[in-house]
Amino acid sequence: MTVHYKGWLDNGEVFDSSYERGEPATFRLNQVVKGWTEGMQLIGEGGMIELEVPSDLGYGDKGAGKKIPPGAMLHFLVEVISVN
């Protein structure tokens, strides 16, 4: 699936954005956090969804890198460009 997306934390800090990079991203649903996989099944090509992903369906108690702290709620705005 090819998407444009923005991901941010509860405090509004953006941790990743294909919009800012100016290029959509391509993922398989088994390559993303569980909450994203579940949410993306609700929409199809051309759709847009805002996801609120609790920590247990995101990166959990480990967090991810320097930008996503342990236990973080994740927020995403996702626009599906194509389903491959």
> What is the reported pLDDT for 1?
92
Domains and CATH numbers, the chain: 2-82 (3.10.50.40)
**Predicted TM-score (pTM) above 0.95:** no
> What is the reported pLDDT for 72?
97
Render pLDDT for 26-84 as a digit per residue (tens, 0 to 9): 998 889 999 999 999 899 999 999 999 999 999 999 999 999 999 999 999 999 999 88
DSSP states along 17-66: EHHHHTS-EE--GGGS-HHHHHHHTT--TT-EEEEEE-GGGTTGGG-BTT
> What is the reported pLDDT for 4?
97
Note whether 63 and 33 are within 8 A (CB): no
Paired tokens of 39: 């949410």
